[in-house]
Amino acid sequence: MTENAAEPVLDTEAVLGRLWERNYDPATQGIIEDLPLEPHWRCLDVGAGLGSMSYWMSERAHRGSVLALDVETHNIDERRAPNLSVRRADVTEADFEPRSFDLVLFRAVLSYLSDPEELVARAARWLSPGGWMVAEDFYFMPSEDGPSALGRKVVDAYTKGASEGGMDMRMARRLPAMLSGAGLDSVDLRLRPLGPGQGAEENELMRRRMELQGQPLVDDGLLTSEEISEFNAMLERPEVRDVTTLQFSAWGQRTA
Report whether 92 contacts 86 (CB < 8 A).
Answer: no
pLDDT at 156 over 60: yes
Half-sphere exposure (CA, 13 Å, Cβ side) for 150?
16
Q: How confident is the model at residue 213 (pLDDT cuts 50, 70, 90)?
A: confident
Return the minimum-mean-pLDDT range out of 103-112, 135-144, 160-169.
Answer: 160-169
In this predicted model, what pLDDT tens digit does every residue of 88-107 receive, in sequence order?
A: 999 999 999 999 999 999 99
Nearest to 61 by CA among 78, 44, 46, 48: 44
Report whether 116 contacts 171 (CB < 8 A).
Answer: yes
Amino acid 56: pLDDT? 98
Amino acid 5: pLDDT? 42
Q: How confident is the model at residue 10 (pLDDT cuts 50, 70, 90)?
A: low
The side-by-side arrangement of strands in the sheet containing 245-253 is 84-88, 65-70, 42-46, 101-107, 127-140, 245-253, 185-194
Pairing of strands 101-107, 127-140: parallel
In this predicted model, what pLDDT tens digit does every residue of 171-195 receive, in sequence order?
A: 999 999 999 999 999 999 999 999 9
Please list the helix, strand and coil fractions of the chain in percent, rounded to the nearest 5, in that order. Answer: 45, 20, 35
Angle between helices 225-233 and 200-213 (to 10 degrees): 170
Amino acid 72: pLDDT? 93
Amino acid 13: pLDDT? 83
Amino acid 11: pLDDT? 79
What is the average per-residue pLDDT within 234-249? 94
pLDDT at 2 over 80: no
pLDDT at 50 over 90: yes
What is the average per-residue pLDDT within 201-228? 93
Instruction: Give DSSP secondary structure letters for 68-120.
Output: EEES--TT--GGG-TTEEEEE--TTT----TT-EEEEEEES-GGG-S-HHHHH
Cβ partners under 8 Å of residue 217, min gap 6: 157, 158, 161, 223, 228
Count of other CB atoms within 10 angstroms of residue 228: 20
What is the average per-residue pLDDT within 215-239? 93
CA–CA dist 137, 128 (Å, integer): 24
CA–CA dist 20, 235 (Å, integer): 17
CA–CA dist 236, 251 (Å, integer): 33
Q: How confident is the model at residue 4 (pLDDT cuts 50, 70, 90)?
A: very low
**For the chain, what is the mean pLDDT?**
93
Amino acid 252: pLDDT? 98
CA–CA dist 107, 97 (Å, integer): 22
CA–CA dist 54, 77 (Å, integer): 10
